[in-house]
């Protein structure tokens, strides 16, 4: 089937436009409702910053997907570029609905945390419930182990890990969203190369939605992702790592299932290093500090902007290695 490059461009541009256009509205709403990040310990901003990123990025996902669903439902309106997606849409439409519900759930959970600062145990319980819902829909990791219980457990662990990794990494302007966009781009290319049109379109949509947020957040931030946004980024990356078929009859290389570890090397590496440092210092894992990769680069003399660019470059190189 012909590579639907125009459908991918539409997905990326639609996500970008929907996020960028609605973000000022969400930012104003957050200011009015008091959903802001106030200055304080370990924070460099001096004025309250609206936590509108998660709401805007979620809008950037839902609006284009809603438009695509309406077009596909009306065959006489659907452009030719969307036709290759019809098979995947019909076959995995139920799973796609569950994924969207999970995305909404992560934003609600993060919004609640932004509002009330949830206890770690309660936040972990919410993350686990969302991950379990995704696994129950049939979207699961197998790693060649024919055991449903293993699939459930490893999928839940993976999604919860990514949500927390991106939550941890959201510590400098543009870092979390930029790494999210870069990783989504590599997942999109991997799925497109394998002819998985629907998965690739979703990944390009996520990439575009995150890019639509970045001009408001980097290098100077007039809005933050907040826990709602960082949870959403982690959830999206975790799901995009599970949806593609990295191992197939056409590409029977078992080590290919490790591609997500390379694409997500920066957030996973940051998570592991921070957890190890906190463990050695006998501090609770969930208590924030300034020992992240970005902070350590700044302590070595880089500016925060340069540190973020270095980590973006590292993410881009790691993802490119999956094609070598």
- pLDDT tens-place string over residues 222-267: 999 999 999 999 999 999 999 876 655 555 566 667 889 999 999 9
Gap between the Cα atoms of 237 and 231, Å rounded: 10
Short-list 107, 111, 101, 110, CA closest to 132: 101
Is the model's pLDDT at 209 over the cut of 90? Answer: yes
pLDDT at 321 > cutoff 50: yes
Lowest-pLDDT range of 35-49, 153-167, 280-294: 35-49
| Owner of token pair 């490790």 | 258
Strand partners of residue 36: 50
Q: What is the pLDDT of residues 95-112, one digit of tens each?
A: 889 999 999 999 999 999
**What residue has token string 């060649």?**
144
Residue 144 — very low, low, confident or very high, per pLDDT cuts 50/70/90? confident
- What phi and psi values does residue 292 have, to the nearest 5 degrees? -75, 165
DSSP string, 106-121: HHHHHHHHHHH---HH
Report pLDDT for 1. Answer: 42
Q: What is the spatial distance between Cα 208 and Cα 210, in angstroms, rounded to a whole number?
A: 5
Is-cis flag, bond preceding 193, omega within 30? no
- Tell me, rounded to whole angstroms, the distance of Cα 101 from its chain centroid: 15
123: which 2 tokens?
A: 């936040």
Give the CA distances from residue 233 to residues 170, 236, 266, in Å, rounded to whole numbers and listed in that order. 10, 5, 14
User: What's residue 76's pLDDT?
Assistant: 54
pTM for the whole thing?
0.91
Q: Per the structure, how many domains does the chain have?
A: 1
Highest average pLDDT, of 113-117, 248-252, 313-317, comes from: 313-317
Rounded to 5°, the CA angle 299-180-241 comes to 125
Q: What is the pLDDT of residue 299?
A: 95
Q: For the ranges 21-25, 76-80, 231-235, which has the lowest average pLDDT?
A: 76-80
- Domain extent, residue 120, equals 5-323
C-alpha–C-alpha distance, residues 53 and 46, integer Å: 19
């Amino acid at each position: 089937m012909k590579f639907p490059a125009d459908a991918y461009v539409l997905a990326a541009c639609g996500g970008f436009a929907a996020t960028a256009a609605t973000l000022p509205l969400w930012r104003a709403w957050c200011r009015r409702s008091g959903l802001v990040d106030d200055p304080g310990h370990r924070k460099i901003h001096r004025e309250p910053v609206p936590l509108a990123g998660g709401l805007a990025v979620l809008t950037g996902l839902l609006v284009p997907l809603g438009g695509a669903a309406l077009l596909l439902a009306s065959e006489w309106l659907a452009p030719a570029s969307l036709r290759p997606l019809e098979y995947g849409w019909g076959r995995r439409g139920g799973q796609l609905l569950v994924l969207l519900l999970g995305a909404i759930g992560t934003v609600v959970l993060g919004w609640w945390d932004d509002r009330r600062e949830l206890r770690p145990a309660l936040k972990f319980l919410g993350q686990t419930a969302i991950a379990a819902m995704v696994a129950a829909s049939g979207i699961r990791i197998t790693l060649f182990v024919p055991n449903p219980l293993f699939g459930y457990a490893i999928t839940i662990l993976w999604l919860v890990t990514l949500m927390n990794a991106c939550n941890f990494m959201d510590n400098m302007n543009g870092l979390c969203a930029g790494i999210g966009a870069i990783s989504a781009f590599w997942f999109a290319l991997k799925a497109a190369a394998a002819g998985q049109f629907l998965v690739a379109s979703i990944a390009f949509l996520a990439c575009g939605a995150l890019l639509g947020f970045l001009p408001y957040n980097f290098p100077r931030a007039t809005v933050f992702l907040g826990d709602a946004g960082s949870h959403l980024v982690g959830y999206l990356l975790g799901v995009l790592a599970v949806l593609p078929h990295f191992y197939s009859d056409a590409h029977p290389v078992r080590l290919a299932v490790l591609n997500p570890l390379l694409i997500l090397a920066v957030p996973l590496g940051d998570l592991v290093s921070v957890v190890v440092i906190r463990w050695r210092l006998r501090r609770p894992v969930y208590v924030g500090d300034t020992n992240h990769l970005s902070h350590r680069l700044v302590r070595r003399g880089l500016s925060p902007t340069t540190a973020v660019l270095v980590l973006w470059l590292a993410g881009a190189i790691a993802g490119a290695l999956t094609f070598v």
